[in-house]
Amino acid sequence: MKLDSLVRVNSLKLKKLQRSTSDQISLIWEDGHEGINTLKTLRDGCPCAGCQGETVLLHHYAAPAKNPSVPGMYELRGAEPVGNYAIKLSWGDGHDMGIYTWEHLRSLCECGECSGRRAKPVGETNAHQ
Ligand SMILES: [Zn+2]
Ligand SMILES: [Zn+2]
C-alpha cells in the first residue's frame, strides 16, 4: 500500500488558475504556493498518451515528434475541472485529451522555488510539506 503518497496527493489542490500574460498562467495552490507556468511547458507536459507515449509491458512507445508549427498549439482555450483532483486543458489546435492532476501540474511549476528544488534528485519534490 502506498498510503503515504495518497495522502500527499490529496493534500495538494489547485485553488485558482489565471492568465498572467499572453503565454503564461499563474496558479494559486491551497497550500499558499503561487506557481507560474508558461503555456508551452503545460502543452509539452500534456500527460495524455498521444503526447507522452505509453509504456506497455515495459516497452515504451514514444509519441510522434511534435510539430511546433501547428497553429494554436500553445494557445490555451479552456480549463475544466475534472472531479476534485485534476483539470483538463484544451488548446487552440483542438487538443483536449490532457488531464492534468494536481500533482502533475505542480511538478511542472516553473516558479523560482520549484525550479530550484527540481535541480535536486527526483523524489524530494514534496519533501517540504
Ligand atoms: Zn512553484
Ligand atoms: Zn496530449
Domains and CATH numbers, the chain: 12-118 (3.30.2020.30)
Report pLDDT for 57. Answer: 80
Q: How far apart are CA 85 and CA 33, in angstroms?
A: 17
Question: In sequence order, what are the beta bridge partners of 56?
Answer: 59
Name the CA radius of gyration of the chain, rounded: 15
Q: What spacing in Å lies between the alpha carbon of 88 and ligand 2's midpoint? A: 10
Report pLDDT for 33. Answer: 95
Q: Which residues have a Cβ under 8 Å from the Cβ of 45 and sit 6 or more positions away?
A: 100, 104, 108
Q: How far apart are CA 42 and CA 105, in angstroms?
A: 8
Global pTM reads: 0.76
Residue type present at position 110: E
Q: Which ligand is nearest to the CA of 52?
A: 2
Q: What spacing in Å lies between the alpha carbon of 42 and ligand 1's midpoint? A: 13
Q: Tens place of pLDDT for every residue, the chain, 129 residues?
A: 455 554 454 578 999 999 999 999 999 999 999 999 999 999 999 999 999 888 878 787 777 666 667 889 999 999 999 998 999 999 999 999 999 999 999 999 999 999 998 786 655 555 454
